[in-house]
Chains A and B, each alone.
Chain A
């Protein structure tokens, strides 16, 4: 089957657009928090949640029981809940007090729900009486019409067959696809990799599938011919959709439905195909077109295999015809196989299906079902009415119309209830937060001892509070990369790591070099570690070496299980520590770059001369001459040939070898110059980044003796989610490098001179010092202490002691929240360290769990509040930002990242099985990219249960991010109107936006399209 290029492009672009609802999945090595409904942020929150529920079969709100716990704890105020309930009733013209009592009883007290248990429902005579009025005729023809419309759009063909014939085509297909994805996308975990991967996902799979017995065993028939004719993935897609009879105008919806089945794997493939410079994508390319081609071909093959057991051809029009001709049979089957048959009818239905006698029972079935459903609703209403303390006579006196209306109200309420609870929950937290915010802007000219710049991460809030209580410290919050996006090449590594938010692509490279150029010798421990690592992955190891080295592993296991602290210290002593290093942050001049390239190329030529010409000890000037000849900068071949005792021809051949095999040629040299030119920052860039960072947080004067630039990272053992605890603003990595780079820039004399011209006068005796806060142990590590001048050593000493003290107090708070044994700060400090070294610990820290607010403004707003480590704090001074540029940067960058983190936690908490990744106990790392549950499943996205739940109850407060901005209202409105993303988030209610106007000294909240004051009177639009 050959397709024209135009058609191929059409299919490609259709699939790209259809896949946009699937959120990206970043490899877990650099875990990135993101909103799982990111692709639906263009819709209002409520609608997006509803669509998400359909696409991902997930719940968008907590259960009633979970919300009740929040109510009991005081995290939801009853008055606010009633208020939102009244709004709900008012919208539906049900303003009578009895309905409010009914629904509030249901929400807060009664343990009731409609149920189809006949024997329970039949016990109540009142229920039986009113059930007669609630019976609604079931029109099979109408019902199947809706089903027929869904088919080919939000329901695939095999979904329909599984639901009406009890087959498991969808499950088999998902298993096959998960296996194919795990095999192809593996990034070095498997010892034996899938062959042909360099050809691309579809082509590699095609080669393997032609020979695969496993596919035949799984029921895939007739694939060989199709594979022969469809060489390209677009051809396979067109063929399969055509064979299934899906018309082109439905392709986009059908494709979206298919892609959402395994949204973890598709999200990862989507991310990979959008990251062109990702090493594994270059080596083994894959995109959604490949994925879909494989999936559709396998689906088609399974459908064809099942065809012999079906009364129709598995293709859209044929199925629709079957549905039209057999509406009752289809509905009954669907009810049975999707588990919705009233159980007391189950046996009869099953026997009728077996004997193919559905027509004989259909009338009775719908009659019974109608009665069962009516009785279920009636029983529920009766019990609820009674629990609400309402008079039964009133209920019995209702006529049919009123009862049906009541039934409809309850059904509407079922859909809306979660949102009502959510709004009440948010309002309670907003009230509490706003009441605690300090409106007065302090006016102090005392020079603080030190300023400390922390990441906006919620975990910093505790540390900042405890540090401020120890002395004259001013703390600031700034995105953890300190506004300096870096591409980092670590010492000894050959690849770049982006240390910045994923939305930014860094332009500057920072190199880490040896400080003292000493040759490194590997110590024995590292050698042994490497050998054991290699052995672990060898298939023969278990047969040969268990007796020999098994004991070593046992020793290791006992050590790290029973004595994590002591054994951890022992291993740390043995391990080869990183040699002293320095960062190269200054941009090399062009001359320097050419010099470095020249040295490198001469070294290469020297080796080439030895290998090809057998000459050692060639003079430097000859090497340079050869280099110039290769780069076509010189043409004196004869002269050089004579000096080297070679013929002109021999020299020409050698020059050609240098160009071809050793890349000593003009084009490649130009590329090298460009790459090297990326290293470092120009002076202007350094000034720009430092100025922007200081300006954005309002630190432009009154600098202390020290400015501590504190990045953060975490430490845990045996934790695939370790990166989720690191700095999201640094691409899921540690913030130490960014802190060092910022501090180095800010300490430079030239930079400070330029900053002075811009109005930021950093005193000469102010020293910027880079540190890193380990959020698992609350220890703070200082860097580059050898660069500290002697005059500042006493200050550093004091800062270290204070940070340690603050760390202990922070550890105590966290330890209590973790439920560990912690009587005092000292004990807590030890306990949290133990957590970080314990490989059995599924919860080394709570991380960002509990986050609910993002506060943009001065520290004075929250200085006296204990936010319990649950708020992002970004410093901002509205007074020095008259045009709102800094505010724009904060809203378009850190706030969006905060919203992603918040939404990831929200959805993982409300439905951990579908939006989250379930329990860590069942996780298996796959391909070094993510985890599956069990031995084969979709790639698990979201956060594990242990991060957001405590037992089966949510630990995280799932609310939409409450964002407070301290700035004049007009300025905020102007800035928001200029940033599309933020406007979308605000107007579609993905965040709750509150503005504190310091000029008017008033709070405003954006609610339902308008700005209101906290008393909910409309103030302005």
Chain B
């Protein structure tokens, strides 16, 4: 079982160099990417529970993978590519959770990426691409869509009180200086790349030769509810749930 768990986790919580294949596959999976963003962490986290204690080499590779993809995200040319790099960077960190964790945590991890993927799809459908050079000024041109995109990007890079933020805090252990240093570097690159993406795609003047079709009210409401889960659930829900299920002290 542990062997199977290792195989599944290596695919779902990709480590370098297998992360290259996962990243490529996610790039090709345009329509199904949202589902992949949801299922991969869930599955990975579930199977991680069957691994007693991953060797330290694995943990160091996970830190390295996370840092590498966070750095790559800074030069991403499109929102979709950026989302993929941050996703790989984030899920590779799940190896750092001690064994015995419940897979529901994977859901919290996945939520911001699901929201991001949905935003990205909405942009790609409307404009044909989410390339940062070509699509800009969504904030002015399609304000509701711009708002949701902003929330999704902020959620993914771990802005309080998103689920990513809470997870990150839990991962930072004061006693392990080296690990904290790497994780701080990862978070720094997430922030930097996220702001770059925001300033390209959301801010700035809309292009004159593109039409900016905004979300309808129903679509916006669904996504706002999801955003509320990403941010509101991040802290409150997690704390309540972990108290109810007796998880405190295990992180």
Q: Which of A115, A118, A343 contacts B134 (CB 8 A)?
A: A343
The reply to whether B125 and A119 form a contact with Cβ atoms under 8 Å apart is yes
Once A339-B133, A339-B134, A346-B134 are accepted as A-B contacts, the answer to whether A113 and B208 lie under 8 Å apart by CB is: yes
Given contacts A113-B208, A115-B211, A117-B211, contact A347 B131 (CB under 8 A): yes
- Check A346–B125 contact: CB distance below 8 A: no
Instruction: Select A120's contact among B129, B131, B211, beta carbons within 8 Å.
Output: B211
In the bound complex, do residue A346 and residue B131 qualify as a contact, i.e. CB atoms below 8 Å apart? Answer: yes
| Binary B-proximity of A206-242 (CB < 8 A = 1, otherwise 0) | 0000000000000000000000000000000000000
Does A336 belong to the interface (CB within 8 Å)?
yes
State whether the Cβ of A486 lies closer than 8 Å to any Cβ in chain B: no
Nearest CB on B from A580, distance (A)? 56
Residue B35 interfacial (CB < 8 Å):
no
Decide: A113 near B131, CB < 8 A? Known: A119-B125, A119-B126, A350-B77: no
Closest to B30 in A: A347
With beta carbons under 8 angstroms apart, the residue of A116, A117, A120, A336 that contacts B133 is A336
The answer to whether A117 and B128 have CB atoms under 8 Å apart is yes
The interface residues of chain A, by DSSP majority, are classed as: helix
**Is A39 an interface residue when CB atoms closer than 8 A count as contact?**
no
CB of B52 closer than 8 Å to a CB of A? no
Is B173 in contact with chain A by the CB < 8 A criterion? no
For residue A341, which residues in chain B have a CB less than 8 angstroms away from its CB?
Answer: 131, 134
Asked if B176 is at the interface of the complex by the 8 Å CB criterion, the answer is: no
Q: Is A449 an interface residue (CB 8 A)?
A: no
- Asked if residues A115 and B126 are in contact (CB atoms below 8 Å), the reply is no
Please give the distance in Å from A340's CB to the nearest CB on chain B: 8
Pick the residue among A115, A346, A350 that contacts B210 (CB under 8 A). A115
Are B131 and A350 closer than 8 Å at their CB atoms?
Answer: yes
A448 part of interface (Cβ distance < 8 Å): no
A339 in contact with B77 (CB, 8 Å): no
Of residues 120 through 170 on chain B, the ones whose CB sits less than 8 Å from some CB of chain A are: 125-129, 131, 133-136
Q: Which residues of A contact B210 (CB under 8 A)?
A: 115-117, 343
CB of B55 to closest CB in A, whole Å: 36
Q: Is the C-beta of B102 less than 8 angstroms from some C-beta in chain A?
A: no
A337 at interface by CB-CB < 8 Å: yes
Asked whether A119 lies within 8 Å of B131 as measured between CB atoms, the reply is no
Q: How large is the interface on A (under 10, 10 to 19, 20 to 34, 35 or more residues)?
A: 20 to 34
Contact assessment for A118 and B128 in the assembled complex, using a CB-CB cutoff below 8 Å: yes
Q: What 0/1 pattern do residues 220 to 245 of B give for CB contact below 8 A with A?
A: 00000000000000000000000000
B25 to chain A, nearest CB (A): 15
A341 and B136 alpha carbons, distance in the complex (Å) = 13
> With the chains together, A343 CA to B128 CA distance in Å?
5
How many residue pairs, one in A and one in B, have C-beta atoms under 8 Å apart? 59
Contacts of A346 in B (CB 8 A): 78, 128-129, 131, 133-134
Chain B stretch 167-193: residues in CB contact (< 8 A) with chain A? none
**Chain B residues whose CB sits within 8 angstroms of the CB of A339 once the complex forms:** 133-134, 136, 207
**B209 contacts partner chain A, Cβ-Cβ < 8 Å:** yes
CB distance from A334 to the nearest CB of B (A): 12
B2 located at the interface, meaning its Cβ lies under 8 Å from any Cβ of chain A in the complex? no
Q: Which of A450-472 contact B (CB under 8 A)?
A: none
Among A166, A342, A346, A350, the most chain B Cβ lie within 10 Å of the Cβ of A346
Give the residues in chain B near A344, CB-CB below 8 Å. 128-129
Query: With a CB–CB cut-off of 8 A, which chain A residues contact B207?
Result: 339
User: Which residue of A has the minimal Cβ distance to B213?
Assistant: A120
Are B208 and A343 closer than 8 Å at their CB atoms?
no
Q: Per-residue 0/1 for A95-118: is the Cβ within 8 Å of any B Cβ (1 yes, 0 no)?
A: 000000000000000000111111
In this complex, what residue of B is CB-closest to A372? B128
Determine which residue in B125, B133, B208 has the highest number of CB atoms from chain A within 10 A of its CB, and name it. B133
Evaluate contact between A113 and B78: CB separation under 8 angstroms. no
Q: How far is the CA of A117 from the CA of B206 in the complex (A)?
A: 13
Given A339-B134, A341-B134, is A347 in contact with B129 using a C-beta cutoff of 8 Å? yes
Q: Return A570 CB to nearest CB of chain B, in Å.
A: 43
Contact partners of A118 in chain B: CB under 8 A? 128
A327 vs B194: C-alpha distance in the bound complex, in angstroms?
A: 36
Least CB separation from A118: chain B residue: B128
Least distance between A948 CB and chain B CB atoms (Å)? 18
Q: Which residues of A contact B129 (CB under 8 A)?
A: 343-347
Task: Collect the chain A residues with CB atoms within 8 Å of residue B125's CB.
Answer: 119
Closest Cβ–Cβ distance, residue A67 to chain B (whole Å): 16
Q: In the complex, what's the smallest C-beta–C-beta distance from B241 to chain A, in angstroms?
A: 40
Pick the contact of B128: A166, A336, A342, A350 (CB < 8 A).
A342
A residues within 8 A CB of B127? 117, 343
Distance between B214 CB and nearest chain A CB, rounded to angstroms: 13
**Chain A residues whose CB sits within 8 angstroms of the CB of B128 once the complex forms:** 116-119, 342-346
- Nearest residue (CB) in A for B136 is A339
Chain B contacts for A347, CB-based, 8 A? 78, 129, 131
Q: Which residues of A contact B136 (CB under 8 A)?
A: 339
Q: How far is the CB of A972 from chain B (nearest CB, A)?
A: 43
Least CB distance, B220 to chain A, in whole angstroms? 19
Chain B: CB-nearest residue to A952: B140
Contact B133 A337 (CB under 8 A): yes
Q: Given the complex of chains A and B, what is the CA–CA distance between A118 and B77 in angstroms?
A: 21
Interface flags, A370-388, vs B, CB<8A=1, else 0? 0000001000000000000
**Complex CA–CA separation, A345 to B131 (angstroms):** 10
Contacts of A120 on B, CB cut-off 8 Å?
126, 211, 213
- Please state if B209 and A343 are interface contacts (CB–CB under 8 Å): no
Distance, CA A115 to CA B126, complexed state (A):
11
Residues of A within 8 A of B126 (CB): 117, 119-120
With both beta carbons as reference points, the residue of chain B lying nearest to A913 in the complex is identified as B205
Q: What residues of chain A lie closer than 8 Å to B135, measured between beta carbons?
A: 343
Contact residues in B for A116 (Cβ distance below 8 Å)? 128, 209-210
Chain B's closest residue to A335 (CB) is: B134
A169 to B138, CA, bound (A): 27
Q: Considering the chains assembled together, what is the distance between the CA atoms of A376 and B213 in angstroms?
A: 15
Q: Which residue of B lies closest to A341 (CB)?
A: B134
Closest to B135 in A: A343
Q: Which of A112-134 contact B (CB under 8 A)?
A: 113-120
Within A319-338, the residues touching B (CB, 8 Å) are 336-337
CB neighbours (8 Å) of A113 from chain B are: 208-209, 211
When C-beta atoms are compared, the residue in chain A nearest to B124 turns out to be A343
Rounded to whole angstroms, the CA-CA distance of A116 and B213 in the bound complex is 13
Cβ-defined contact, B213 with A343, below 8 A: no
For residue B133, which residues in chain A have a CB less than 8 angstroms away from its CB?
Answer: 166, 336-337, 339, 346
Taking the closest CB of chain A, its distance from the CB of B209, in whole angstroms, is: 6
In the bound complex, CA of A337 to CA of B127 (Å):
17
> In the complex, A344→B78 CA distance in Å?
13
Kindly provide the distance from the CB of B28 to the nearest chain A CB, expressed in whole angstroms.
11
The CA of A120 and the CA of B127, in the complex, are separated in Å by: 9
Q: Say whether A115 contacts B209, CB under 8 Å.
A: yes
A15 to B210, CA, bound (A): 40
Q: Which residues of B contact A343 (CB under 8 A)?
A: 127-129, 131, 134-135, 210
Q: What residue in chain B is nearest A353 (Cβ atoms)?
A: B77
CA separation between A481 and B40, bound complex, in Å? Answer: 78
Residues in chain A near residue B134, CB distance under 8 A: 336, 339, 341, 343, 346
Docked complex Cα distance between A350 and B75 (Å): 13
Q: Chain B residues with Cβ under 8 A from A350's Cβ? A: 77-78, 131
Interface residues of A in 678-737 (CB under 8 A from B): none
- Per-position 1/0 for B5-27, Cβ under 8 A of A: 00000000000000000000000
Q: How far is the CA of A113 from the CA of B209 in the complex (A)?
A: 7
Q: What distance in Å separates the Cβ of A830 from its nearest Cβ neighbour in chain B?
A: 38
21 A-B residue pairs with Cβ-Cβ distance under 8 Å, sorted by A, are A113-B209, A113-B211, A115-B210, A117-B126, A117-B128, A117-B211, A117-B213, A118-B128, A120-B213, A336-B133, A337-B133, A341-B131, A341-B134, A343-B129, A343-B131, A343-B135, A344-B128, A346-B128, A346-B133, A347-B131, A350-B78
The 7 closest A-B pairs by CB, nearest first: A344-B128, A343-B128, A343-B129, A115-B211, A346-B129, A346-B131, A343-B127
Contacts beyond the supplied A116-B210, A118-B128, A350-B131: 14 A-B pairs with Cβ under 8 Å = A117-B126, A119-B126, A120-B213, A336-B133, A339-B134, A341-B131, A343-B134, A344-B128, A344-B129, A346-B78, A346-B128, A346-B129, A346-B134, A347-B78
